[in-house]
Amino acid sequence: MAKWAMAIDLDRCTGCGACMAACKMENNVPIVEPDEALQGRVMHWMDMITEYGGDYPGIEIKRMPKPCFHCDNPPCTRVCPVGATYRNEEGLVAQVYHRCIGCRYCMVACPFTAKVFNWKDPAWIEGASTCFNPDVSRRMVGVVEKCTFCSHRLMKVKETADEEDRPINDGEYVPACAEICPADAIYFGDIEDKGSSVYKMSGDYRASRVMEDLGVEPKVYYLVKRTR
Amino acid sequence: MEIKRRDFIKLVGGTSVSLAVGGCAMDEVLEIPDRLIHRVRTGPGIETWKNTICGLCPGGCGISVRMVDGLPVSIRGNPHYPVNLGGMCSLGLNALHMLYHPDRLKGPMKRTANPGSGRWEPITWDEALKIIAERLTELRGGQKSRQVAVLGYDERGLMEQHIARFMKAYGSPNYFRFSPSQNDMVPHSLLHGHSRIPAYDFLNAKLIVSFGSNFLGEGYSPVYYTKLYSHHRELQTQYIQVESRMSLTAANADKWVPIRPGTYGALALGIAYVLIREELYDARFVGGSTFGFEDWADRSGSRHLGFRSIVLGNYYPEKVSEITGVPTAAILELGRLLGNTPKSLVLGDGGAVDNTNGTFAQMAVQSLNALLGNYEAEGGVFFTDQAPVRPLPDVEVDAVAAAGSRSEPLTSSRDVPFPLSDFSIESFAKNILADSPYPLSVLFLYHGNPLFQTLNHLDFAGALKKIPLVVSFDSIINETSEYAHLILPEHTFLESWGEISDVPTVGFSHFGIQQPVVEPLHDTRGTGDVFTELARRVGGTVKSAAAFTDYREEVRYAAEGLFRSGQGAVVAKGQKQPWIEFLQRRGWQTGRYATFDEFWEQLLLNGGWWNPARKKKNLDELFTTPSGKFEFFSQRLNSEFNRLLLKLDETGSSRNLESVLSRLNISARGDNAMMPHHEAVPYEGDRPMYLVTFQVMPNRDGAGAALPLMQELFGYSVHSPWESWAEIHPETAAAAGVSNDDWVWVESSIGNVRVKAKITPGIMPDVVAIPFGMGHTSYGRYARGHGVNPNTIMRNLHDLVSGKPALEATKVRISRTS
């Protein structure tokens, strides 16, 4: 059974934000109204963390794209009172929107603030919303949503691979962010497959996971910047 | 078996959900015509892909558009297109929102009340074209063809030629473009002789020092540079960024060197001092291929100081440190690092050139490349070849057209600011207001938004009100087209034909084909076709500008040159480095297309053509200056000053070079004025902070503000959706009693803006930075009324030589709003 994981090379990543836009377009993530956005209700499945370090003028700006980490030991699934979120056999932490009652326990439980809440039905400013990708359902008001690793793409790839009676090749299934990254900084694939690029990257000397001591076993690895 | 069955159910479930949702949402979304919605609702859901080129910025990325039953639903990068190799920026990914924008004009419009009133009524294409054609015919009949002008933006290649041909056949010298990069080539032309923007061999360079060039976030093609940057992290290429504010590029560089705005040229010359003093320069190149390095004597025997003497005499590190705020040790270190690292490269742009002294600063920066012997060297500077497109046939020019084209263009001015600028909106507006040397009767506005983007928008707004007929091609009404009398809305790039070739600074010649991926959603037309139609309606010899049935035919005609040249190849899978090197050794040839029709078909299928093989040039064929060499002493600038001297002489106002220089507000005297030097920016003394601006990826030149998603992502790096902000250093903020997210006034001598403070250590303590792109008063429902436009508080200053807007020449004061 495949186990899908991601590695983000922060040495290559410039922090341009293209992954954020790609994600929103691919997954029909709502654009919220400006005043709501300013209250912190912006919905990004792929977020960007900015952190400053160093002393002037040796300032360092670290930018870190942050999707859902699809933890192997996910804290969000345990607190869900209705079983609306679960970890499937392939390691994807999935959401069942129709079951979600909007209690937002999972948002609190997630140490990485990966989840966002639909405060409104996804129609906004003069009737416009953003449903473009017909492969992804729209979410309704009052439910929690988050990055799915573009699992709708996995379904399609599986279909093709099944038809051709072969395993899924490395790089055949990648989420939108990894696909369009202009810096080729996002690696994605089956971490159980020793030939996959994500397996190699996750074993790199620069690789680590965020807050590893929590024991939630995230499946997104970050490779730190090389220093000169 | 079990797994497969489960997957099957999942698949079916997934599909049914998506169908239901796809159906329900599409009509609420932005704005999609009913006929297309209907097709998607009832269609079989067949997915197709089509390649084209993104048209939202000049970068020219190849894109693949995904369509379901012919309706575009998403965009990816074209993985084989060499500029972006599948990469995309946020703006390009969002291009479909432009296609479906609810404020797109559905057809031609005629303004019925005052500018800005927003009162328009629909008009048919035939009526609109009739009004314009009649006016054009009438003017031409009265020998007044020169009273027609086209103000373009950043169009290049075929579209530029298309408009130029129309204007030539019609008989007017007044076709201008005002894009921010319009006068970028001026400093290069002074040093190199020709007006080509150099490309930089990032692939092989080991050290890249950038003076203000935010190539990862702004500039010509950020995605191209992002690809280069990320692929060379493994090669240990070192990046150093000299800039007042930590831009996206500075944040990714190995080292950031903060510098006071307006002093980039001084730092470059300080580095030149180190290179010369410590003999770290390339003596062979400097000795053989440059002019004006050593002291020299002209034909009349008068002595002139060379670059060496001037630099050694004036730009010693202590003095440069005082001007720039860069510590002496850092200047020495930079100079030694550049001199001792083989394949080190220098480039300048952004803050370095967007100032009153930008031309001289860029000359100083490029002089470092000459000192380092970088021209045509591995890891250095080179000039790409042009794609061998087939030149368009000549137009017929009758007596009226010939006389019209010979007239003085409306941009030239008697009081001579900016001797070398192709175009300055400043003199254009003044001339229109003064009817000098003749009145302007018809103005076509093609792309861009001068009233939002320029510094002296008030003059230009006055000029627009004065012109009897202003025609715009905008598809969303913006600040400038509010003043138009007629709007002939253009297709979006996803509905039209075009080409984007040879993007400046991209390191190989290429030709990207823009083709419609969807039939036009509304009653819009391609502007190329509109000019053709106008040429037909005016008739006579003007008709010769309408040699092609439509713009598609014209693109096809131009592309035939690529096929005939036998060079390069249609972009395709697998054109990777080893293959290119192999072909380069054996001569690069296509050979795979028997006929042009086959070539054209491949071109449309794959999205473009490129030629990575480039023959190395000899140094003596590189420069087209009077000396045939790289000119530290620009003879072209010298003769330009002499020409102005004669011009001033006619009016009897002055006699010597000094008076020319003082008329141009250039403070340097003598030979210095023709050479790279530090020209102090005339900052006002009574305000403590420098104002700088920058572009963000989701917005670029202000055009991204129409898109709701880009507005939301506007301040993604500082958590400021839909809002402008001012970046302030922590020390400065503490002194002013400002905390993060406080509202502050940023006040200049021109005016003030109210913005949220974002406290960041990545900026000099006496600099405040505001992003450009927000603060629209028009341009659709999503752009209007969010954030501020920093250009509105800038002094109306321009580069003294090239006329580029001086975006970092204003000083401000900040205070908390109470």
Contact A77, A87 (CB under 8 A): yes
From B11, B25, B248, residue closest to A155, measured CB to CB: B11
**Average pLDDT in the B454-458 region?**
81
Which of the four pLDDT bands, split at 50, 70 and 90, describes residue B417?
Answer: low
Q: Which residues contact B331 (CB under 8 A, 6 or more apart)?
A: B267, B270, B271, B274, B317, B320, B321
Q: Which residues of chain B make contact with A182, given a CB cutoff of 8 A?
A: 77, 84, 87-89, 222-223, 226-227, 230
**Per-residue confidence (pLDDT) for residue B102, from 0 to 100:** 87
**pLDDT at position B158 over 80:** yes
How many CB atoms lie under 10 A from the CB of residue A116?
A: 21
User: Is the preceding omega at residue B33 within 30 degrees of 0, hence cis?
Assistant: no
- Inter-chain residue contact B7 with A131, CB threshold 8 Å: no
Tokens matching residue B185: 């080539």
- Inter-chain residue contact A59 with B762, CB threshold 8 Å: yes
Residue with tokens 């104002």: B691
Q: In A, residues 52-71, which contact B (CB 8 Å cutoff)? A: 52, 54, 56-59, 61, 63
Portion of chain B with pLDDT greater than 90, in percent: 73
B430 or B125, which is more confident: B125
**Per-residue confidence (pLDDT) for residue B613, from 0 to 100:** 81
- Inter-chain residue contact B74 with A26, CB threshold 8 Å: yes
**Per-residue confidence (pLDDT) for residue B436, from 0 to 100:** 85
**Per-residue confidence (pLDDT) for residue B422, from 0 to 100:** 67
Q: Which helix (H) or strand (E) holds A223?
A: strand A220-223
**Per-residue confidence (pLDDT) for residue B8, from 0 to 100:** 34
Distance CA B116, CA B811 (A): 31
**Per-residue confidence (pLDDT) for residue B24, from 0 to 100:** 33
Flag the least confident range among B1-15, B700-714, B719-733. Answer: B1-15
Distance CA A103, CA B370 (A): 66
Which of the four pLDDT bands, split at 50, 70 and 90, describes residue B23?
Answer: very low
How many CB atoms lie under 10 A from the CB of residue B732?
A: 20
**pLDDT at position B1 over 50:** no
DSSP B179: -
**Per-residue confidence (pLDDT) for residue B746, from 0 to 100:** 97
Strand B509-514 vs strand B148-152: parallel, antiparallel, or unpaired? unpaired
**Average pLDDT in the B540-559 region?**
96
Tokens matching residue B384: 């790409």
Contact B691, B748 (CB under 8 A): yes
Q: Which residue of B has its CA nearest to A165?
A: B4
AA letter at B546:
A
Distance CA B452, CA B776 (A): 7
Distance CA B62, CA B52 (A): 6
**pLDDT at position B773 over 90:** yes
Contact B764, B260 (CB under 8 A): yes
Q: Which residues of chain A make contact with B84, given a CB cutoff of 8 A?
A: 182
**Per-residue confidence (pLDDT) for residue B152, from 0 to 100:** 94
**pLDDT at position B117 over 90:** no
- Inter-chain residue contact A180 with B76, CB threshold 8 Å: yes
**Per-residue confidence (pLDDT) for residue B572, from 0 to 100:** 84
What burial letters (b/e) apply to B191-217, b meaning 16+ CB within 10 Å?
bbbeebbbbbbbeebbbbbbbbbbbbb
- Inter-chain residue contact B26 with A131, CB threshold 8 Å: yes
Contact B113, B485 (CB under 8 A): no
**pLDDT at position B442 over 60:** yes
Q: Which residues of chain B make contact with A17, given a CB cutoff of 8 A?
A: 90, 697-698, 713, 716-717
Which of the four pLDDT bands, split at 50, 70 and 90, describes residue B578?
Answer: low
Strand B255-257 vs strand B175-177: parallel, antiparallel, or unpaired? unpaired
Measure the CA angle with vertex B59, ends B55 and B65; round to 5°. 45
What burial letters (b/e) apply to B571-596, b meaning 16+ CB within 10 Å?
beeeeeeeebeebeeeebebeebeee
Q: Left, alpha or beta for B13 (phi > 0: left; psi -120 to 50: alpha)?
A: alpha
Could you tell me where the beta strands, DSSP code E, fall in B386-502? 442-445, 469-472, 486-487, 498-501
End-to-end distance of chain B based on CA atoms, in angstroms?
A: 70
pLDDT in tens, B696-717: 999 999 999 999 999 999 999 9
Of B96, B98, B374, B89, which Cα lies nearest the Cα of B220?
B89
Tokens matching residue A154: 């996995």
The alpha-carbon gap from B11 to the nearest alpha carbon of chain A, in Å, equals 6
**Average pLDDT in the B768-796 region?**
94
Q: Which residue of A has its CA nearest to B237?
A: A228
Distance CA B627, CA B639 (A): 13
Distance CA A81, CA A79 (A): 6
pLDDT in tens, B351-399: 999 999 999 999 999 999 999 999 999 999 999 999 999 999 999 999 9
Tokens matching residue B694: 């920058």
- The angle that helices B264-277 and B358-371 make with each other, rounded to 10 degrees, is 20
- Tell whether A181 is within 8 A of chain B (Cβ): yes
From A42, A134, A182, residue closest to B68, measured CB to CB: A134
Q: Which residues contact A227 (CB under 8 A, 6 or more apart)?
A: none
φ/ψ of B442, rounded to 5, equals: -135, 130
pLDDT in tens, A65-92: 999 999 999 999 999 999 999 999 999 9
End-to-end distance of chain A based on CA atoms, in angstroms?
A: 40
Of B334, B412, B343, which Cα lies nearest the Cα of B376?
B343
pLDDT in tens, A89-140: 999 999 999 999 999 999 999 999 999 999 987 664 443 444 578 888 888 8
**pLDDT at position B11 over 50:** no
- Inter-chain residue contact A63 with B723, CB threshold 8 Å: no
pLDDT in tens, B508-533: 999 999 999 999 999 999 999 999 99
**Per-residue confidence (pLDDT) for residue B26, from 0 to 100:** 34
pLDDT in tens, A30-66: 888 888 888 889 999 999 999 999 999 999 999 999 9
**Per-residue confidence (pLDDT) for residue B573, from 0 to 100:** 80
Q: Which residues of chain B make contact with A58, given a CB cutoff of 8 A?
A: 256
- Tell whether A34 is within 8 A of chain B (Cβ): yes
**Per-residue confidence (pLDDT) for residue B583, from 0 to 100:** 56
Contact A149, A138 (CB under 8 A): no
Q: SS3 string of A2-44?
A: CCEEEEEECCCCCCCCHHHHHHHHHCCCCCCCHHHHHHHHCCC
**pLDDT at position B818 over 90:** no
From B11, B18, B45, residue closest to A137, measured CB to CB: B18
Which of the four pLDDT bands, split at 50, 70 and 90, describes residue B68?
Answer: confident
**pLDDT at position B557 over 90:** yes
Which of the four pLDDT bands, split at 50, 70 and 90, describes residue B233?
Answer: confident
Interface test with B, best of A28, A130, A132 (most B CBs within 10 A): A132
**Per-residue confidence (pLDDT) for residue B236, from 0 to 100:** 83
Give the pTM: 0.93
Q: Which residues contact B250 (CB under 8 A, 6 or more apart)?
A: B214, B241, B243, B256, B762
**Per-residue confidence (pLDDT) for residue B18, from 0 to 100:** 33
- Inter-chain residue contact A61 with B251, CB threshold 8 Å: yes
- Inter-chain residue contact A162 with B4, CB threshold 8 Å: yes
Distance CA B62, CA B660 (A): 47
What burial letters (b/e) apply to B234-247, b meaning 16+ CB within 10 Å?
eeebbbbbbbbbbb
* CA neighbours closer than 13 Å in the CB half-sphere of residue B42: 5
**Per-residue confidence (pLDDT) for residue A70, from 0 to 100:** 97
Long-range pairs for A84-92: beta carbons < 8 A, 24 or more residues apart: A84/A144, A85/A144, A89/A1, A90/A1, A90/A2, A90/A3, A90/A4, A90/A154, A91/A2, A91/A3, A91/A4, A91/A5, A91/A219, A92/A4, A92/A148, A92/A149, A92/A151, A92/A154
Of A20, A184, A223, which Cα lies nearest the Cα of A116?
A20
**Average pLDDT in the B537-553 region?**
95
Distance CA B244, CA B764 (A): 6
Q: Which residues contact A176 (CB under 8 A, 6 or more apart)?
A: A19, A22, A23, A25, A26, A27, A150, A153
- Inter-chain residue contact B93 with A56, CB threshold 8 Å: no
Flag the least confident range among B356-360, B646-650, B671-675, B719-723. Answer: B646-650
Q: Which residues contact B645 (CB under 8 A, 6 or more apart)?
A: B654, B655, B656, B657, B659, B660
Q: In A, residues 12-31, which contact B (CB 8 Å cutoff)? A: 12-18, 20-22, 24-26, 28, 31
Q: In A, residues 99-118, which contact B (CB 8 Å cutoff)? A: none
Which of the four pLDDT bands, split at 50, 70 and 90, describes residue B131?
Answer: very high
Contact B227, B87 (CB under 8 A): yes
pLDDT in tens, B178-211: 877 778 889 999 999 998 899 999 989 999 999 9
**Per-residue confidence (pLDDT) for residue B706, from 0 to 100:** 93
Portion of chain B with pLDDT greater than 70, in percent: 92
Contact A145, A97 (CB under 8 A): yes
The alpha-carbon gap from A126 to the nearest alpha carbon of chain B, in Å, equals 9
**pLDDT at position B19 over 50:** no
> B482 by DSSP, 3-state: which?
helix
Number of CB pairs < 8 Å for A and B? Answer: 200
> Bridge partners of B211?
B242, B348
**Per-residue confidence (pLDDT) for residue B372, from 0 to 100:** 97
Q: In A, residues 157-176, which contact B (CB 8 Å cutoff)? A: 158-159, 162
Distance CA B754, CA B757 (A): 9
Q: Which residue of B has its CA nearest to A181?
A: B87
**pLDDT at position B732 over 50:** yes
**pLDDT at position A201 over 80:** yes
How many CB atoms lie under 10 A from the CB of residue B557?
A: 17
**pLDDT at position B581 over 80:** no
How many CB atoms lie under 10 A from the CB of residue B334?
A: 26
pLDDT in tens, B277-296: 999 999 999 999 999 999 99
Distance CA B381, CA B167 (A): 35
- Inter-chain residue contact B25 with A31, CB threshold 8 Å: no
**pLDDT at position B591 over 70:** no
Contact B169, B396 (CB under 8 A): yes
